Structure 1
């Protein structure tokens, strides 16, 4: 009777293997930057041959783009869950208050850096650019949905929820633009800028979206 080789690898289902590759690439992108995502680097992290990663992602650009989407979708679902404006969940006011409380913490700094990184690289990588645009629109739609729900409930006053959502997101991204450089010197003046923009857009009194 022969014993099983302890080094023998168990073959994973294609969907499971693909998810594993994207998740590993997303972690590299978050912690080190999207430029550090290569087929070989991901293979090394997983302990497999680069050819296996290449089987699922013949182009590194596609892997980089999907890693970006994976990381930013996880962030979006944590900050603004899909059902956040639905029945039985937080009111739009409470959902937005939670949202601004979370994004003002350091917990999401790596994702802010990832967005900045992706927007820069998207000038040269069309596949990544498409993913960045798609994620931007998805973020805007989630915010728009909350704003519209609040307006229907007469918690907010807003004639154009889509325009308000775009301006709120631009304020958030504008503050995040300094995440890699002079953040320490600018933190205090801009700490609540995005929240203040949202309160103005929704005709709320100052501090209404504070924790």
Structure 2
């Protein structure tokens, strides 16, 4: 016998509702592009009225920027967690892992097929930011965050004697420029790309950090893989060319 007691609606807190809206917008942006993030579309995704979305985001431009920022920062947090690789040495559990290994993991992911969705989102955001000031500011904010985290990781490697570079900031920019160049082709077929081209970011990092070829191979980071038990490469002597 079914109960006649009416089911009580659970009201979400403002923070929970806002987070739900941002998550839905982020998923739409990753799957279909930032142009598809509209107040009505997100309302349909959540089965609510568009007025509820506009209550939290009166301007769709704010929601578009938030969707991009959420996706980009989540990816950065996964690859280079905040507080790790900030030049402060081993301050956390993750910080005990050698910078060489963490950089290898970063490069393996950012040059692999799994990164294509984020690459497409960056392409999309940079294009639209020409016409959307709010998004332009968010893109600049994320670019600074990615530069800062990667530079921090490189500086930590220098402090630990694993990397050698006269200017960690310049080396960071060089690596990111190559990654951006490779990522620009995320919308096209790259199956015929030569291995040397696919490896350009790794080669750039190894040369810029005074590491021997192969030091940043991705198998350093595969659980149980052949590189799991390797020691990080010894720092090159001053006489070794960078």
TM-score after normalising by structure 2: 0.82
The answer to which of 49-58 and 97-106 deviates more is 97-106
**Does the alignment pair 1:37 with 2:37?**
yes
Q: Quote the Cα distance in structure 2 between the aligned partners of 1:56 and 1:15.
A: 10
Judge conservation of contact 1:69–1:135 (CA < 8 Å) in 2: yes
Aligned-pair CA distance for 1:187: 6.0
Q: Quote the Cα distance in structure 2 between the aligned partners of 1:152 and 1:80.
A: 17
Q: Which 4+ runs in 1 deviate beyond 3 A?
A: none
Judge conservation of contact 1:168–1:198 (CA < 8 Å) in 2: yes
**Does the alignment pair 1:151 with 2:158?**
yes
Residue 175 of structure 2 corresponds to: 168
2:100 to 93, 100, 103: 93
Residue 13 of structure 1 corresponds to: 13
Residue 75 of structure 1 corresponds to: 75
Q: Quote the Cα distance in structure 2 between the aligned partners of 1:197 and 1:65.
A: 31
Judge conservation of contact 2:111–2:179 (CA < 8 Å) in 1: no
SS in 2 for 1:184: coil
SS in 2 for 1:51: helix
* C-alpha distance after superposition, 1:12-42 (max 9, x if no partner): 1101100100010000000000000000000
Judge conservation of contact 2:158–2:165 (CA < 8 Å) in 1: yes
**Does the alignment pair 1:133 with 2:140?**
yes
Aligned-pair CA distance for 1:189: 4.5
Q: Quote the Cα distance in structure 1 between the aligned partners of 2:64 and 2:32.
A: 13
**Does the alignment pair 1:113 with 2:120?**
yes
Whichever of the two has the greater Rg, that structure is: 2
Q: Quote the Cα distance in structure 2 between the aligned partners of 1:93 and 1:150.
A: 7
Superposed CA RMSD in Å reads: 1.6
**Does the alignment pair 1:205 with 2:218?**
no
Judge conservation of contact 1:199–1:205 (CA < 8 Å) in 2: yes
**Where in structure 2 are there 5+ consecutive unaligned residues?**
219-242
Structure that is richer in helix per residue: 1
Q: How many residues align?
A: 209
Residue 46 of structure 1 corresponds to: 46
The answer to which of 77-86 and 146-155 deviates more is 77-86
Aligned-pair CA distance for 1:206: 1.4
Q: Quote the Cα distance in structure 2 between the aligned partners of 1:210 and 1:52.
A: 48
